[in-house]
Chain A
Amino acid sequence: MTEFFQQLINGLSVGSMYALIAIGYTLVYGVLRFINFAHSDVFMVGAFMGMYIGRTSSKSSIGGGLMVMAGAMVICALLGILIERFAYRPLRSRSKLTVLITAIGVSLFLENAGQLIFGPNPQPFPNIFPSHTFQYDQVVLSSKDLVVLVVAIVLMGGLQFLVLKTKIGTAMRAAAFNPQAASLMGININNVISFTFGLGSALAAAGGILWAYKFPKIDPLMGVMPGLTAFVAAVLGGIGNIPGAALGGLVIGIIETFVKGSRWSTWSEAIAFVLLILILLFRPAGLLGTLQPEKV
């Protein structure tokens, strides 16, 4: 039973990071209807930015850690906006395949440029938050898991508030619902799309820093597997659906952690993939989504 709770805590913390990344996929899919392949590499850039900012101070404090996160989130938000502006916007009227190929190109570009700039070898990530362990019976809750959970919950709550209660959030939902009608109502679609990219990329950066903080070895290809898993999480929850992405992330994180703790641990990388096939076979709209017929 102790082991079960221990694994559950682990799974929740990994899952909440998947949730943060999955929300980025879902946000962009909501307004532009395409999979932003470069998202997983923005996640990687976020981790590296966190490392560079975190190295500037040797002391770890809660305030300092939050500053590191804020800095990396701003940089990655800018990166996301730039990517959208220069790679995706010129292609908006073209076929989906063209945009998809460009997204793959951007992803590869970030990975390979990262290998040139950051170096291909894994680097240690500084301990940006103070460490402490809490213990109940034999279940250990490390400060790492606590930080991951608290930050993820705060960010997701903030996002929910932003999307449901603010003006720009209303504009985002309108643009996702029907871009043409939204622009007729006076919403500047380009600004909304830029904002969406910035928001998704900032969440990816936060996810990247939390990931690097929990597993403190980072390299330019670190985004590939978490990105793929988080995408599966977004599909599991119903792509385009924000609470669905959060739920999907938690479910996949918990399943993956339990498999890693079992004797099939070497196969854990295959879990997300098998899940994806099963979802596509049995419930292609995801857990919380509804399948919409395509109109001519």
Chain B
Amino acid sequence: MLLARPRICLVAALIGSVVLGFFQGQIDPYFVDILSHIGINITLAVSLNLINGHTGQFSLGHAGFMAVGAYTAAAMTLFAGPHVLPATAGPVLPMLWFLLALLAGGLIAAAAGLLVGAPSLRLKGDYLAIVTLGFGQIIAVVFRNIESLGGALGLNGIPPYTNLFWIFTTAALTVYVVTTMVNSTYGRGFLATHDDEIAAEAMGINTTRYKIVAFVIGAFFAGVAGGLYGHFTLTINPKGFDFNRSIEIVVMVIVGGMGNTAGVIIAATLLALLPEGLRDLAGRSIPVPWSSTPLSLHWIGESRPLLYSMLLIGLMLLRPQGLFNLRRGSSKAPC
């Protein structure tokens, strides 16, 4: 398998991200943009995969945790940064402060995850889905109501600290942590919780604790990804982290195959490229034999959410193990 030797993969990915960060200036900004989206998507999808795939729960609020991380990190660099950093700081100090901001974003998101997850994960089944769906809605209400964080307009002028090095280092670390954790002795508990909760309980596994741990770790990485996202787009508002964003991440996990990290990475990459492909298609038109005016494809540009919903239904009916799960019939692949 692709991730059979996680430590070697991690080192290779880290070297890759250093190289990417070093040569970022030479790459076409358009590709830098796409690469950044891919990296952030991978972090989000792999961290959600820990909750929805490996542990078998269902969270619909990943964008909410992303929002918490994005706002926390942006507030630290935007408001606290100028007071903490000396005016003549070199390039190193702001970067360290950015690292601190990302970690703080992740930690606050993890705390939010604990707050939301602890009550709902004690129960079985669908409660987590609806609670996290509600959390995603509420977090938007909260940020809209906090005037010091920009209200409905959001925060602007966030310093552009994010680069390819940060994005891909985070992605590599996320993949490494999730993969090695699930494959560790401790991590077997996640898979046991996913496979059969009652049997796992009978073997003395505290399934609630495993669910909460998975949820909190997933929320942490979502928060870090949110921080990166904010310092990449330079402007954040509550609408950018709505339900559709959460669904996008869920679709990545499902297309890749729940619990299949390598497949999820492929799906996250492809779904980051999809809007570009659709935009290209939307500009074209195809000739139709029965009419002199060619059929314009502009509607494709607006139909992405519709496409996602049909993907969800179709995959569940025809291929619930995901598109990129090549081992036949293995719905509980370990990695």
Contacts and interface: CB of A to CB of B under 8 A. Distances in A.
Contacts of A90: 317
In this complex, which of B60, B133, B313 has the most chain A Cβ atoms within 10 angstroms of its Cβ? B313
A213 interface: no
A281 B131 CA distance: 12
14 contacts: A35-B129, A94-B320, A96-B126, A102-B317, A104-B129, A105-B316, A107-B309, A108-B312, A112-B306, A231-B130, A269-B137, A277-B116, A280-B122, A296-B199
Contacts of A109: 306, 309-310, 313
Interface in B138-167: 138, 141-142, 144-145
Interface string A88-128: 00110010111111101111110111001000000000000
B141 A105 contact: no
B320 A105 contact: no
A116 B134 contact: no
A111 B317 CA distance: 20
A96 B125 contact: yes
A35 B142 contact: no
B308 interface: yes
A97 B312 contact: no
A273 B309 contact: no
B169 interface: no
Contacts of A102: 312-313, 316-317
Nearest to B299: A116
B127 A280 contact: yes
Interface string A261-276: 0000011011011001
A137 interface: no
Contacts of B309: 105-109, 111-112
Interface in A23-46: 33-35
Interface of B: 56, 58, 60, 116, 119-120, 122-127, 129-131, 133-135, 137-138, 141-142, 144-145, 198-199, 243, 247, 250, 254, 258, 303, 305-306, 308-313, 316-317, 320
A100 B126 contact: yes
A65 B100 CA distance: 61
The 5 closest A-B pairs by CB, nearest first: A105-B312, A108-B309, A105-B313, A109-B309, A112-B306
A296 B198 CA distance: 7
Contacts of A100: 58, 126, 129
Contacts of A112: 303, 305-306, 309
A101 B312 contact: yes
Contacts of B126: 34-35, 96, 100
Q: How would you classify the secondary structure of chain B's contact residues: helix, strand, loop or mixed? A: helix
Given A104-B60, A272-B134, A116 B303 contact: yes
Contacts of B138: 269-270, 273
B127 to A, nearest CB: 6
A39 B252 CA distance: 25
Interface centre among A96, A112, A284 (most CB of B within 10 A): A112
A97 B317 contact: no
Nearest to B115: A277
Interface in A215-260: 224-225, 228, 231-232, 235
Q: Is the interface of A mostly helix, strand, loop or mixed?
A: helix
A100 B60 CA distance: 11
A273 B135 CA distance: 7
Contact of A294 (B122, B124, B316): B124
Nearest to A107: B309
B75 to A, nearest CB: 21
B211 to A, nearest CB: 13
Contact of A35 (B123, B130, B311): B130
Contacts of B56: 97
Contact of A273 (B123, B124, B134): B134
A267 to B, nearest CB: 7
A269 B141 contact: yes
Contacts of A34: 125-126
A91 B317 contact: yes
Given A272-B134, A276-B131, A284-B122, A104 B312 contact: yes
Nearest to B57: A97
Given A266-B145, A273-B138, A106 B123 contact: no
B313 A106 contact: yes
Given A101-B316, A108-B247, A228 B125 contact: no
B21 to A, nearest CB: 37
A87 interface: yes
B195 to A, nearest CB: 10
A256 to B, nearest CB: 13
Contacts of A266: 141, 144-145
Nearest to A90: B317
A113 B306 contact: yes
A266 B238 CA distance: 15
A228 B137 contact: yes
A228 B123 CA distance: 18
B130 A87 contact: no
Contact of A116 (B142, B243, B306): B306
A267 B126 CA distance: 25
Given A34-B126, A269-B138, A277 B131 contact: yes
